[in-house]
Amino acid sequence: MSLFYPFELLLKWLYRFDEPAVVRDRPMQVLALGLSRCGTESLKFALEDLGYRGVYHGFEVKADQCMVWSRLWDAKAAHASDMKIETEVFDKLIGNYEAVTDAPCNMFGKELIEAYPDAKVILNRRKDVDAWDQSFRSALLKTLRDSWWLKALSIFSPDYFWLRQITLRYVIGYFNGSFEKHGLDVYRAHYRQLEDMMGEGKYLGWTVEDGWEPLCAFLGKPVPEKAFPSGNAPPAFVKRIAELRKPQYRHALVNVAKTLGVVIAAGVAVWMAYARLN
C-alpha cells in the first residue's frame, strides 16, 4: 500500500469539485479509441483540420473532469463487463466536443460506442507494437516516476491531485496493475474487444503512416492539400506534461507555505501559552 494512500482517501472527500454539467450542443461524430502513443495527438489535429468542432484529447482534460473520470473508472473496474454508462453522463463531460481521442476516453471504448451508436469509430494503432511499448514507457510511464516530494505535492493541490488520480488509473489500472508486465497483452486485448464488438467493416483500422486518404474516405471528407500533422515524440511529450503541471506545482507550494505558516503560528501560540502558565 502506498505511503500516501490514507491521504488519498481523505483528499478524495476534501477535494470534491462540482461535477461538470455540460449540455450537449453538437452531435458526437467520431470516436477514435486507440491507446495513447498511437498517433492520438496527430489524429486530434487532423480531425480539427477536417472541420470537427472540438476534439477531446488527454491534454484537454480539466481537474473536475478528472474527478468524474476517476469515479467512472472505479465503478467500471468494480463491475467489469456489466458496467453501463448513460449517454447523459458522458455528455456532461464531453458534450461540447464532436470527436474524442486518447485517454481517458479510450478507457471507456465499449461504453462510448454504446452511448453514441451513430458516431464513426476509428481504431488508431501502431504498425510496430514493440515501438509502441517503448514509446509508452518513455512518455507516460516517465510522468509517474517523479520524486517522492512531487507525489507529496499532490496532497496540496486539488488540480494536481485529480490529474494524478486519473493518470494512475490509466497507466496502472487499465493495464492490470503493471504496464511492464501486462502492457502488450492489454494492447492486443483492447483492440480485439472493440473489433469483435464492432464487426468487420464497421470501423476504420488506421495508423499515422496511412495518412489522409483512408481517414478522409471513411469520414466522407475531402483530402486536405497539406502534410498530415504530427504529434509529440516522447521527449516533447514529457516536456509538455511538465509545463502543464507548473501552475499546479506553484499552487501546491503556496499551499505548503500556508500550511507551514499555520502550523508554526499554532506552535508558537501553544509555546507562549505554556510559558505563561509556568
Q: How do the domains of the chain map onto residue ranges?
A: 5-277
| Omega before residue 104 within 30° of 0, cis | yes
Q: Give the helix ranges, DSSP H, for the chain.
A: 5-14, 40-49, 63-79, 87-94, 109-115, 129-136, 142-144, 148-153, 158-168, 179-198, 212-219, 234-277
Given a cut of 90, is residue 112 above it in pLDDT? yes
Q: For the whole model, what pTM was predicted?
A: 0.83
On average, the pLDDT of the chain sits at 87
Instruction: Return the CATH number of 5-277, one of 3.40.50.300, 3.20.20.20, 3.40.50.2300, 3.30.930.10.
Output: 3.40.50.300
What value does the mean pLDDT take over residues 110-138?
Answer: 96
Question: Over 80: is that where the pLDDT of 1 sits?
Answer: no
Contacts of 102 (CB under 8 A, 6+ apart): 32, 36, 40, 41, 44, 56, 57, 58, 59
Q: Which three cell numbers stand for residue 134?
A: 517503448
CA-to-CA dists, residue 31 to 28, 55, 174, 196, 273, angstroms: 8, 10, 19, 16, 64
Please determine, for residue 48, whether its predicted confidence score (pLDDT) is greater than 50. yes
CA atoms of 155 and 254, how far apart (whole Å) = 12
* Phi/psi-derived region of residue 37, left when phi > 0, alpha when psi is between -120 and 50, beta in every other case: left
pLDDT of residue 275: 74
Q: Which of 4, 193, 3, 166 is nearest to 74 (CA)?
A: 166
